[in-house]
Structure 1
């Protein structure tokens, strides 16, 4: 017989097994121990010679039920290798196990995985802490609560991407401006992580500062662009929509609105009859050039009409087959929201995006809705 095909002599196998540091048992067809290696004898506190003929559960009580018993039964029934992990009280910690069908019985191999489990637990703790920090930072970039705006309902929703480990760049804001007006802003900063969070915070508060110093969306966005260029040296970009609202005076029943759009998906306007208007242009992104083109629009919202602002995480959401959520789907969704409160409209969009992606959001999603209330005493 060739040396390559020669079966190892029992003496050689015995010497090898004597030096295996893992626990090895061989069971007969009745589940009785035929062999227990020295490492196993030491770990179980049973001399190898005395273990022969004992039931496995007598030296390892955990084998009587649960995962070990199920793995033993499956290996014997199906004739294939089975595995498990268990925190063994008998052995004083976590062990992994593998059960091999052998002629007229089973071989059971157990090895210590305490260090690996500890490393996994440390990783899980770090993951949870990083996730918590990212959530806290993200929440700090959004208003803690939306303000009450006279004559106007506002509703907002934010969904972080499923990974949830880095702060995203989507944001929205609602705040008062002079002459009883109100401002709405929504934006999307490129990238994620600390740099995106820093720019998002800068953009949000610069918009507020600009709104106190200059009037009209075009000027506010120009102010914002200059400040971003000054502080980032032109290497970070973002898109934004900024709106100014003037709530109706007594008896007017309408809101004057002015919109500036810089590279961002344009808002949708929901009319009282369900018609949905898309503002015609998007303008240029900010942070790229000194004088970007800003698309502007002005008009009126009557009682019951609404404006929907959103980030591209809505329309660029992808379903399981790769299909885009798309603008047309969003328009139909908004059209069916006639008569709903602003918060209900925002929730309707949030729910639709979640369902479309089967609960796995792959990009941050922000939605902000402003709806004109009926005038005091109106029907």
Structure 2
């Protein structure tokens, strides 16, 4: 059977032809391999004087060989900023380590064009360890630098979009309520990702005020969608029936009946009566608010309740507190209590928060929020979750 008719015959013949064509290329002259390499090569004396350079680098920069060899030092090919960095950082490292790799520098062509490059340098020494030459490899980094700029631009755009979207999920300003000092704060853990924490304060038709604070599971666009739905539902449900238990029941009904999968959150909804400063709160699996009394006592307001959106028949509970003169009600999300302390070994926790709150009394809502903001900044990298704070004081 002819070779062309045998199974695999054509493929075997093609491989033989390719090998015959490639074999001569593998015997390239070493000088040509150096001169026409896909990267720049040069060698310098320990003082930086260039003693050898390949055609590739000369072509990038537009120099003739006799304009460079023996006439220029390598730092003279660099921009001013890269030259300073080379003299103050690279050269000392080379003397200590004998090699430095992956340096991002800029070289300058004859016509003034800047070329971003990645540079690797290694020192060749004699038998006694004395430096003889510095061998330098230069890689064209224009595509990489363009990619990095595009990546930075995309990240900045994502941060702008996230910031814009985040603002739509929070009230731009809080209304004034006669007889109350009101303050809020939002810590955004990731600048390029929308968080799920939220809060609001708004008037009801009967002269009372509705308020809520909560935390949606997840981050990003999906969490933003649930946050928007939650805020809209809470406000709408409060118009229909402002009783806090009824409001959470309606929200649970909306979130749990969802064909796209589970959507849930923790939330506290409250109604403030400005006539006697009584706040009635209903909890849906959220952290307990803190009541800071004017006499220096701080205590948790236990409202309990189950997560909102998980069970169709979830049960919620409520509690009422009366704000006396100088009292402050502090609502917050669990970014505070879940913050890591002691190099990440422990969580801040509710006991530490209670101790912290006790040290604040007596105070105003504005003072309390400023103190919490300072506390959050003190966690540093240990604070890796969004945190919302809403405070009311009489």
What is the TM-score with the length of structure 1 in the denominator? Answer: 0.87
Range with bigger deviation, 63-72 or 281-290: 63-72
1:311 to 333, 345, 356: 333
Deviations 1:88-118 (A, max 9, x none): 2326321111221013121122121000000
State the match for 2:144 in structure 1.
116
Do the aligned residues in 2 keep the contact of 1:138 with 1:168 (CA within 8 Å)? yes
Do the aligned residues in 2 keep the contact of 1:325 with 1:353 (CA within 8 Å)? no
State the match for 2:107 in structure 1.
88
Deviations 1:164-217 (A, max 9, x none): 222111100001113321111001111112121111111111111111111321
In the comparison of the two structures, how many residue pairs are matched?
355
- Aligned: 1:170 with 2:197: yes
Post-superposition shift, 1:343?
1.7
Post-superposition shift, 1:67?
2.3
Deviations 1:136-156 (A, max 9, x none): 111110100011011111111
Do the aligned residues in 2 keep the contact of 1:263 with 1:286 (CA within 8 Å)? yes
Do the aligned residues in 2 keep the contact of 1:23 with 1:37 (CA within 8 Å)? yes
Runs of 4+ in structure 1 deviating by more than 4 angstroms, as ranges, are 61-64, 231-234
Post-superposition shift, 1:125?
0.3
CA distance in 2, matches of 1:58, 1:262: 66
CA gap 1:327/1:14 in 2 versus in 1, 3 angstroms: same
CA gap 1:119/1:87 in 2 versus in 1, 3 angstroms: same
> What are the equivalent positions in structure 2 for 1:1-379 lying under 5 Å apart?
13-48=30-65, 51-56=68-73, 60=77, 62=79, 65-70=83-88, 73-74=91-92, 77-83=95-101, 84-90=103-109, 92-103=114-125, 104-161=132-189, 163-231=190-258, 235-248=262-275, 254-319=276-341, 320-356=343-379, 358=380, 361-372=383-394
Do the aligned residues in 2 keep the contact of 1:75 with 1:99 (CA within 8 Å)? no
Post-superposition shift, 1:62?
4.2
Do the aligned residues in 2 keep the contact of 1:181 with 1:245 (CA within 8 Å)? yes
Post-superposition shift, 1:26?
1.1
CA distance in 1, matches of 2:367, 2:305: 29
Do the aligned residues in 1 keep the contact of 2:256 with 2:264 (CA within 8 Å)? no
Do the aligned residues in 1 keep the contact of 2:297 with 2:361 (CA within 8 Å)? no
CA gap 1:35/1:72 in 2 versus in 1, 3 angstroms: farther
State the match for 2:8 in structure 1.
none
Do the aligned residues in 1 keep the contact of 2:61 with 2:108 (CA within 8 Å)? no
State the match for 1:5 in structure 2.
none
- DSSP-derived class of the 1:41 partner: helix
CA distance in 2, matches of 1:359, 1:343: 25
CA gap 1:232/1:192 in 2 versus in 1, 3 angstroms: farther
Post-superposition shift, 1:336?
1.9
Residue segments in structure 2 that go unaligned for 5+ positions in a row:
1-27, 126-131
Post-superposition shift, 1:309?
0.7
CA distance in 2, matches of 1:302, 1:72: 66
CA distance in 2, matches of 1:307, 1:172: 14
Ranked by relative contact order (alpha carbons within 8 Å, sequence separation 6 or more), the top structure is 1
Post-superposition shift, 1:226?
1.4
- DSSP-derived class of the 2:336 partner: helix
Range with bigger deviation, 219-228 or 66-75: 66-75
Post-superposition shift, 1:17?
0.9
What is the TM-score with the length of structure 2 in the denominator? Answer: 0.84
